[in-house]
Structure 1
Amino acid sequence: MVISHRHRFLHFVIPKTASATLRQSLAPFADIGWPVSKYQQHVTIAAFLRSEHAPLFPDYFKFAFVRNPYDRIYSGYLQDRYAAETYPRWIRAKKPLFDEIGDDFSTYFNEYALKADLENDWQWICFCPMSAFTVDAGGKLAMDFVGRAENLAQDIATLASRLRLPLEKAPDENVRQGLCSAEPKYLPHFDRRTIFAVNATYRRDFELFGYPMLDPDSFPERAQTLPIGTAPRG
């Protein structure tokens, strides 16, 4: 979460939507939320409205960036896989799980992520639906601006105009296998069951942000388990 009292904006930071690059871009204008160690990174609207900052919600300019749900979910898996080998908190939480299932995205998502409290459990926040960060309790899109990770530079420029700030895109961070692309780049890792589950779990995200939902029948029963390499995140 990035808050600016000087410039009266709220950035609802959705995981795996070029959020590290965005936080760097916004850092010169942020009053709360940078560095991220000083404030929770990913705050849903429901959690925000329970916080001491809730009175800001009606009057501040609110925005978020989104990403194709298929690529976002696989990127979340890559993030967790990397963190489980790197950070002490994540090593304790996730390394035993990955030691058991290996590099098995389908099992990780279907048997573990989908059974978690995606909105409230920090271990699974990368899989929280984007609607939780953008839609109010009445089901209405509550953002004044929604950018796309696939169109990052142009949408940051649009945001700069809306905020009337000299906002510039920071160097890309946490990038794996190139920048976010217009077409999903991680589909070879998906099987039929996982496509069906993503369609069901993130249906509201597809509807809100206009990403095309794919037909599970066009995917294999079981995707090939591909090596994820050693590059950190996606």
Structure 2
Amino acid sequence: MLLAPWKTASSTAQLRLEPFNESPYSRFYDYNPYLQRVVHQHITYPEFAMLPESRETYFTGAFVRNPYDRVYSGFLQLQRDIQQQPSVPYPSAWIKALVMRQLSDNFAQLAAGDFEFNKWFNLVEEYQIYDIGRNSSFPLHPAHYWTGIDREQKVSFVGKVEYFERDFDSFCEKVGVALPDKRVNANMTDSSSAYEGLDIPRYIHMMGPAAISKINTIFDADFELFKYKKY
């Protein structure tokens, strides 16, 4: 069972593991009767713990990523979603209406920041990052929401996007999955394997001192738990 934090190459992992996918849930927005809210593939560990599957003996894992790149990648994802998601089929009209309202809120904030990262991130409030229930289309919650509860690790495995190939191989070995041609199906988008093993965040040069300081503060637990360097 591999959980899918936002912006941690989850699409790549899902594509590679698709032949072994036994999930009864949609990856796209849908109402989950166990959680009693609209969710998607990016459910957190506490949400997973409320599903009946959590009582099975699954080996669980999740990938994390340095907070600087996750935040900037989230900034790019918000803009892609605004362009793409209105035309995607939804399971019901009310779910689409909910998501369109969320995308509208995201667009308004991006526009207020002139679609420039530093201006936009200055407008982002802490509650938007810490509260998962307010806007299920806002992809910037701390990565440790997917690895455990109250900062205590619950998953059996934590991999890093910065070492994706190595750690993905390790995860597959632990769950007994052999994927000899997995790299042929890679689709890592902005988490490109060209950056494999680099310790310097890919996008930090796009950030001003105020944005870096804000990320350091808001994502302090991720830096500490996953041993990422602060700049």
TM range (shorter): 0.7 to 0.9
* Residue 157 of structure 1 pairs with residue 169 of structure 2: yes
**Contact kept? 1:21, 1:169, Cα under 8 Å:** no
Q: 2:16 aligns with which of 8, 22, 25?
A: 25
SS in 2 for 1:36: coil
| Structure-1 residue corresponding to 2:52 | 52
Deviates more, 1:178-187 or 1:59-68: 178-187
Q: Does 1:188 align with 2:205?
A: yes
Q: Deviations over 1:29-88 (max 9, x none)?
A: 1100676238721111122223333323xx320101111111111001011022222321
Q: Report SS of the residue matched to 1:95.
A: helix
**CA 1:23–1:165 in 2, change beyond 3 Å: closer, same or farther?**
same
Shift, 1:106, TM fit:
2.2
Q: Is the contact made by 1:62 and 1:145 (CA closer than 8 Å) also made in structure 2? A: yes
Q: Could you list the per-position Cα deviations for residues 99-133 of structure 1 after superposition, in whole angstroms to 9, with x for gaps in the alignment?
A: 33322212322322534154222121x21101111
Name which of 111, 114, 136 aligns with 2:149: 136
Q: CA deviation at 1:16?
A: 0.5
Aligned-partner Cα distance in 1 for 2:5–2:184 = 17
Q: CA deviation at 1:176?
A: 3.2
The number of residues matched between the two structures is 201
- Aligned position for 1:68: 66
One-letter amino acid of the counterpart of residue 142, structure 1: K
Q: Which runs of 5+ in 2 are unaligned?
A: 31-39, 87-99
SS state at 2:155 partner: coil
Are 1:204 and 2:209 counterparts? no
Structure 1 residues 54 and 94: alpha-carbon distance in aligned structure 2, compared to 1, 3 A threshold: same
TM-superposed CA distance for 1:93, in Å, is 4.2
Q: Partner letter of residue 82 of structure 2? A: A
**Matched-pair contact (CA < 8 Å) for 1:71–1:185:** yes
Aligned to 1:213, the other structure's residue is in SS state: coil
Q: Look up the match of 1:94.
A: 106
Q: Take 1:49 and 1:140, find their aligned partners in 2: how far apart are those partners?
A: 14
Cα distance change on mapping 1:53 and 1:128 into 2, 3 Å: same
TM-score, length-scaled by structure 1:
0.76
After superposition, the Cα gap between the structure-2 partners of 1:33 and 1:187, relative to the gap in structure 1 and judged at 3 Å, is farther
Are 2:189 and 1:175 aligned?
yes
Corresponding letter in the other structure for 2:5: I
Inter-partner Cα distance in structure 2 for 1:152 and 1:208: 18
Q: 1:91 to 1:127 in 2, by over 3 A?
A: closer
| Partner Cα distance (1:38, 1:109) in 2 | 25
Q: Which has the higher contact order (CA 8 A, sep 6+)?
A: 2
Q: How much has 1:96 moved relative to structure 2? A: 3.5
SS in 2 for 1:123: coil
C-alpha distance in structure 2 between counterparts of 1:173 and 1:113, whole Å: 31
CA gap 1:177/1:165 in 2 versus in 1, 3 angstroms: closer
How far apart, in 2, do the equivalents of 1:185 and 1:160 lie?
26
Query: Which structure carries more helix by proportion?
Result: 2
Does the Cα contact within 8 Å between 1:134 and 1:143 map onto a contact in 2? yes
Q: What TM-score results when the alignment is normalised by the length of structure 2?
A: 0.77
Structure-2 change in CA distance of 1:34 and 1:55 (3 Å):
closer
